Amino acid sequence: MMSDVNASPPESKRRGRRPAGQDTKTALLDAARAVFGESGYEGATVRAIATRAGVDAAMVNHWFGGKENLFAQAVLHLPFDPTQLIASFLDGDIDGLGERIVRNFLTVWDATDGGVFPALIRSIAGHDLAAQALRELFMNKVFAQLAAKIDVDQQDLRATLCASQMVGMGIVRYVAKFEPLASADHDTVIRAVAPNLQRYLTGSLD
């Protein structure tokens, strides 16, 4: 699949018309998420990312201008449309909100080994933007927006409580891997976690 890399040298200027180059770029973004997720920002090397992608290390500079910008594009860029996501959470019975949220997180994260989440957690010491991106991802783009659309008191506190549960689930399931939660099937996790998330969103906090 990556054998056409040599046909897309750094000096090429016709990027828009080169699917081979796009393949390289996509492969580097995927490899970057995996390597940053395993080693964190400080521990990840350009060489390791390029090797994982099956391309020459020079391709990282060619397509991204270095590790910093590759991190920004691979890890800090939101991998979904927040407006659409929140609409899908709100599409249905308000009492099913917790379940729809947990199911969505599990479906997306399980399919992508936690998506950008392990890379953010493992880079939180080595890159200033990682903690900020974590707040952006869980609070500003998702739970604060969601809570603002529900007719409840203490919307910001509810949003941070939801974030605490989902960040914790992310760590336990995808980063530090505490069993049996790390390997539990979706229905088990949803039955266990959804009612707690539902209470944070619509229950009494007093």
Residues that bind its own copies (CB under 8 A): 38-43, 121-126, 131, 134-135, 138-139, 156-157, 160-161, 163-169, 171-173, 175-182, 184, 188, 191-193, 195-196, 199-200, 205-206
CB of 205 to its own copies, least distance (A): 5
Residue with smaller CB distance to its own copies, 89 or 138: 138
Q: How far is the CB of 137 from its own copies (least distance, A)?
A: 10
Distance CA 37, CA 135 (A): 18
| Minimum separation from the CB atom of position 112 to its own copies (A) | 19
CB closer to its own copies out of 21 and 118: 118
DSSP per-residue string spanning 31-99? HHHHHHHHHHHHH--HHHHHHHHTS-THHHHHHHSSHHHHHIIIIIS-SS-HHHHHHHHHSS-GGGHHH
Residue 35 to residue 185: CA distance in whole angstroms:
26
C-alpha R_g of the chain: 19
Give the Cα separation of 64 and 31 in Å (integer): 13
Q: How far is the CB of 17 from its own copies (least distance, A)?
A: 39
Nearer to its own copies, 27 or 161 (CB): 161
| CB closer to its own copies out of 2 and 172 | 172
